[in-house]
Amino acid sequence: MPSPRVSLASVADALDRVVPELDELIREARLGTRHPLGIHELEERAQRIAAAIVAPFRAPAVPSVKVTMGKSGGAWV
């Protein structure tokens, strides 16, 4: 689940940006590979795409309040 400070619209935008890379990976996988190392290259690309898909869901939350230090400790502002 996205962090409360991450908008679903921004998640959707980030996912849209990954679609062309995923489409290209699928196309190349359907064509097959002639070199034994080709499958490893495809896997590495798949790992990068997977990281790009998950990243927007794991965006760091932005604090909604600011803490300032007073004489008796922190105060919510």
- Work out how many domains the chain is built from and give that number: 1
CB neighbour list of residue 53: distance below 8 Å, 6 or more residues apart = 15, 18
Whole-angstrom distance, CA of residue 74 vs CA of residue 77: 9
| 1 assigned to some structural domain | no
| Mean pLDDT along residues 4-19 | 88
Residue range 25-74, pLDDT digits in tens: 999 989 887 777 788 999 999 999 999 999 998 866 544 445 555 555 55
| 55 assigned to some structural domain | yes
| 50 assigned to some structural domain | yes
Check residue 76 and give its pLDDT: 46
| 3 assigned to some structural domain | no
Between 72 and 15, where is the model more confident?
15
User: 35: domain range?
Assistant: 8-76
